[in-house]
């Protein structure tokens, strides 16, 4: 089956052409873009629209392949060369029972960056998220000001379920669809929402709160990565040079003028230095962008001095690290074969459906079928401002017979065998609560001056205890309620606290039961008590891989800011950062959509900036 898929992929590529990879460089380019992830790919496309500008795009990785295309199985890509494979430092209170006692932080290494290995969910966040950015002094970043850029990048499927039309774009490069298959679970999930008094909403519409089908970056049932969306349409422009397998080791900044002047990189063991006439655009992502800044002398003075790096600009690079934590492993058994597991999708009919028609279970993005944005009783936010997301996964951990999902999460075989072995291969699905508004902040710093060493990653999950309490509330919504008396009334949010999704009518009809095998190491606590869930979270909860914030955007009076609202590095002319690292506060959303938006807006800012300067837009 895989060979057939590969053959067809290669045929398609031969027809569409591979991305041209340059080995010949001009001495200078107008713009040098470092990293072709979601932010960098949009920049490469939009800046090369200006025919007079010469653009160089440098990327460590290479082209995606037929395996990365399959929406259902992104886990497979994480055991491939497409993953940087970062791991955090050991934390005292998080990921303690995962492999090596660390959290896995996969990141994409490819043209298209992390959008080549991610779970493809497309979702922007709440109006208040962006209004909050603007209120912190980031002029131009309020919801009303960023919405046009979300719409600009998007090409929505006109058949999108529950779509609020005015919140979707139709002429962009990035395709957004629902999966071309659904299990009965997603209808049960939407019905559960209604039973709780929630609307079935468009997760990118006016109100974020509610239950919905997942929207995803898919094109005709296949992954629509940043490379497919933004690089392929631009790859034959003569003013855009793309260089793959090119590892940037340093940005050259003049120590006197503090201006970014060139970029150094390594390709095929050869070292290159290429100059910029206008700007270096740093889009290497939340981990590599701050690392490169610090290696280039831009970062916290004391930290750089300790490593003998000459300090060019003292900025709080690497602070403000934020992420969404999530608790996997809440599996539910059902009597009927309505779930997706590795065994039942191997049916050749499903494979052929996917290969020839782009339909069937293989089109479900990462197995995620539904999303709910809800508010817990722990929240002090306004009623329409959710603090927990619940993702409906059409399969459970017990269906992970190959071990791929376990591997991503960093779950040990010992844990798996104790909790899931006796239900392995049975019909299960999972409900995954995600903490949407984390208050804990982590830090990224250098371990050495070697650009090929991973930096030190310290997420500091749950250092603000409120995060833990909210996540426990999230678990109670889906798994095990402690509520005895429901304060029934018009405010459905309170009512919701006392119910569990799996006990609603449609789920009951499917014969849904919560799998209650206790998690090893936590049996000492009464099952379902706060102490029990706290223990489970600290040992086994992991990340949804939404790390952002390490080159925080903020005005000049914000002492923690690294870039200004124009995305220019404070005090360093000709250097901008355009990727997830600039996000000041993580939105209540899967982060990719916001980063495409940042790319679109960043490109317009660059065009506007150079309009009235030499060799601007003609």
Residue 71 interacts with ligand FAD (CB under 6 A)?
A: no
488 three-class SS: coil
> In sequence order, which residues have a C-beta less than 8 Å from that of residue 37 and are 6 or more positions away?
108, 112, 113, 114, 115, 226, 283, 284, 285, 579, 595
- Minimum Å distance from CB 266 to ligand FAD? 9
- Minimum Å distance from CB 482 to ligand FAD? 31
How far apart CA 532 and CA 526 sit, in angstroms, is 6
Taking the least distance from each CB to ligand FAD, the nearer of 138 and 545 is 545
User: Is 590 tagged catalytic?
Assistant: yes
Segment contacting ligand FAD (CB under 6 A): 100-108, 344-352, 374-382, 516-524?
Answer: 100-108
- Minimum Å distance from CB 304 to ligand FAD? 18
> Site for ligand FAD (CB under 6 A): which residue of 30, 38, 334, 393?
38
- Minimum Å distance from CB 550 to ligand FAD? 10
Segment contacting ligand FAD (CB under 6 A): 21-29, 31-39, 161-169, 515-523?
Answer: 31-39
Segment contacting ligand FAD (CB under 6 A): 111-119, 137-145, 267-275, 373-381?
Answer: 111-119
> 580 labelled as ligand-binding?
yes
Contact by Cβ (8 Å): 252, 273: yes
> 274 labelled as ligand-binding?
no
Taking the least distance from each CB to ligand FAD, the nearer of 231 and 333 is 231
Interface with ligand FAD: number of residues (CB under 6 A): 41
Q: How many CB atoms lie within 10 A of CB 346?
A: 10
Contact by Cβ (8 Å): 552, 560: yes
65 three-class SS: coil
Contact pattern for ligand FAD over residues 209 through 238, marking x by CB under 6 A: ------------------------------
As to burial, measured by CB atoms within 10 angstroms (0-12 exposed, 13-18 middle, 19+ buried), residue 331 is: buried
Contact by Cβ (8 Å): 5, 32: no
Residue 329 interacts with ligand FAD (CB under 6 A)?
A: no
Contact by Cβ (8 Å): 276, 31: yes
> Site for ligand FAD (CB under 6 A): which residue of 30, 39, 415, 443?
39
Q: How many CB atoms lie within 10 A of CB 343?
A: 12
Residue 562 interacts with ligand FAD (CB under 6 A)?
A: no
> 248 labelled as ligand-binding?
yes
Q: Which residue is nearest to ligand FAD (CB)?
A: 37
Catalytic hit among 241, 515, 546, 570:
546
Taking the least distance from each CB to ligand FAD, the nearer of 59 and 458 is 59
> In sequence order, which residues have a C-beta less than 8 Å from that of residue 25 and are 6 or more positions away?
56, 241, 243, 272, 274
Residue 602 interacts with ligand FAD (CB under 6 A)?
A: no
Taking the least distance from each CB to ligand FAD, the nearer of 35 and 329 is 35
| Cα angle 375, 379, 380; round to 5 | 125
Taking the least distance from each CB to ligand FAD, the nearer of 261 and 591 is 591
Sign of the CA dihedral with 584 first, then 590, 595, and 600 last: negative
Segment contacting ligand FAD (CB under 6 A): 48-56, 59-67, 174-182, 230-238?
Answer: 59-67
For the chain, count helices (H), then strands (E). Answer: 19, 25
As to burial, measured by CB atoms within 10 angstroms (0-12 exposed, 13-18 middle, 19+ buried), residue 520 is: middle
Q: For tokens 């919801």, what's the residue?
A: 143
Segment contacting ligand FAD (CB under 6 A): 284-292, 349-357, 509-517, 566-574?
Answer: 284-292
Catalytic hit among 350, 515, 570, 590:
590
- Minimum Å distance from CB 362 to ligand FAD? 16
Contact by Cβ (8 Å): 517, 528: no
Contact pattern for ligand FAD over residues 517 through 556, marking x by CB under 6 A: ----------------------------xx----------
Residue 242 interacts with ligand FAD (CB under 6 A)?
A: no
Residue 119 interacts with ligand FAD (CB under 6 A)?
A: yes
- Minimum Å distance from CB 248 to ligand FAD? 4
| Cα angle 79, 82, 85; round to 5 | 60
- Minimum Å distance from CB 60 to ligand FAD? 4
Segment contacting ligand FAD (CB under 6 A): 85-93, 102-110, 235-243, 483-491?
Answer: 102-110
Taking the least distance from each CB to ligand FAD, the nearer of 65 and 497 is 65
Contact by Cβ (8 Å): 455, 445: yes
Residue 251 interacts with ligand FAD (CB under 6 A)?
A: no
> Which two structure tokens, joined as six digits, stand for 375?
């508010």
- Minimum Å distance from CB 384 to ligand FAD? 21
Q: At what angle do helices 38-47 and 592-611 cross, to 10 degrees?
A: 30
Contact by Cβ (8 Å): 168, 180: no
Residue 603: alpha-carbon gap to chain centroid: 21
DSSP 277-306: EEEEEE-SHHHHHHHHHHHTTEE-HHHHHH
> Which two structure tokens, joined as six digits, stand for 446?
């250098």
Segment contacting ligand FAD (CB under 6 A): 101-109, 181-189, 201-209, 608-616?
Answer: 101-109
- Considering only residues 441 to 500 of the shown chain, the ones binding ligand FAD according to CB under 6 A are none
- Considering only residues 576 to 595 of the shown chain, the ones binding ligand FAD according to CB under 6 A are 579-580, 590-593, 595
How far apart CA 435 and CA 325 sit, in angstroms, is 6
Where along the sequence are the contacts to ligand FAD (CB under 6 A)? 34-40, 58-61, 106-110, 113-115, 117-121, 247-248, 283-286, 288, 292, 545-546, 579-580, 590-593, 595
Task: Summarize the annotated binding site for FAD as residue ranges.
Answer: 114, 248, 580
- Any idea which residues carry the catalytic annotation? 546, 590
Residue ranges of the binding site: 114, 248, 580
């Amino acid at each position: 089956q895989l060979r057939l898929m590969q053959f067809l992929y290669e045929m398609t590529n031969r027809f569409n052409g591979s991305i041209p990879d340059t080995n010949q460089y001009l001495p200078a380019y107008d713009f040098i873009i470092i990293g072709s992830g979601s932010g960098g790919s949009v920049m490469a496309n939009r800046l090369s629209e200006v025919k007079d500008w010469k653009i160089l795009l440098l990327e460590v990785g290479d082209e995606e392949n037929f395996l990365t295309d399959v929406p259902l199985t992104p886990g497979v890509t994480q055991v491939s060369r497409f993953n940087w494979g970062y791991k955090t430092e050991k934390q005292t209170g998080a990921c303690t029972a995962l492999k090596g006692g660390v959290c896995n932080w996969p990141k994409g290494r490819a043209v298209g960056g992390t959008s080549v290995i991610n779970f493809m969910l497309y979702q922007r966040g709440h109006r208040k998220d962006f209004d909050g950015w603007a209120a912190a002094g980031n002029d131009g970043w309020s919801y009303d000001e960023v919405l046009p850029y979300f719409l600009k990048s998007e090409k929505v499927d006109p058949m999108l379920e529950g779509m609020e039309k005015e919140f979707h774009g139709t002429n962009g490069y990035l395709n957004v669809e629902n999966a071309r298959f659904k299990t009965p679970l997603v209808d049960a999930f939407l019905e559960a929402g209604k039973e709780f008094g929630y609307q079935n909403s468009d997760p990118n519409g006016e109100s974020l709160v509610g239950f919905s089908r997942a929207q995803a970056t898919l094109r005709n049932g296949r992954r629509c990565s940043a490379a497919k969306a933004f690089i392929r349409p631009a790859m034959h422009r003569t003013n855009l040079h793309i260089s793959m397998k090119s590892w940037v080791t340093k940005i050259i900044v003049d120590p006197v003028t503090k201006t970014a002047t060139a970029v150094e990189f390594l390709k095929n063991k050869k070292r290159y230095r290429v100059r910029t006439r206008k700007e270096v655009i740093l889009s290497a992502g939340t981990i590599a962008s701050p690392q490169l800044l610090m290696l280039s002398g831009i970062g916290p003075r004391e930290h750089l001095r300790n490593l003998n790096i000459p300090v060019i600009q003292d900025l709080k690079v690497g602070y403000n690290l934020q992420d969404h934590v999530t608790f996997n492993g809440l599996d539910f058994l059902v009597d009927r074969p309505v779930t997706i597991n590795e065994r039942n999708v191997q049916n050749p009919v499903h494979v052929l459906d996917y290969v020839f028609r782009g339909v069937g279970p293989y089109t479900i993005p990462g197995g995620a079928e539904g999303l709910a944005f809800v508010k817990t009783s722990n929240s002090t936010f306004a009623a329409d401002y959710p603090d927990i997301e619940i993702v409906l996964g059409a399969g459970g951990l017990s269906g992970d017979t190959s071990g791929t999902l376990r591997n991503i999460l960093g779950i040990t075989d010992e844990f798996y065998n104790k909790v899931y072995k006796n239900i392995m291969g049975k019909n299960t699905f999972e409900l995954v609560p995600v903490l949407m508004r984390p208050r804990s902040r982590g830090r990224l710093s250098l371990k050495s001056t070697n650009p090929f060493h991973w930096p030190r990653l310290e997420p500091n999950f749950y250092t603000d205890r409120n995060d833990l309490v909210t996540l426990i509330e999230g678990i109670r919504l889906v798994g095990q309620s402690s509520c005895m008396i429901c304060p029934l009334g018009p405010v459905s949010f309170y009512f919701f606290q006392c119910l569990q999704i799996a006990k609603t009518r449609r789920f009951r009809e499917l014969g849904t039961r919560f799998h209650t095998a206790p998690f090893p190491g936590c049996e000492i606590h009464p099952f379902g008590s706060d102490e029990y869930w706290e223990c489970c979270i600290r040992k086994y909860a992991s990340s949804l891989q939404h790390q952002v914030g390490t080159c925080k955007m903020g005005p000049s009076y914000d002492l923690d800011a690294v870039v200004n609202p124009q995305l220019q590095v404070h005090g360093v002319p000709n250097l901008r950062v355009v990727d997830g690292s600039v996000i000041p506060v993580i939105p209540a959303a899967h982060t990719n959509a916001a980063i495409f938006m940042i790319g679109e807006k960043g490109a317009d800012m660059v065009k506007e900036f150079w309009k009235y300067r030499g060799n601007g837009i003609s």
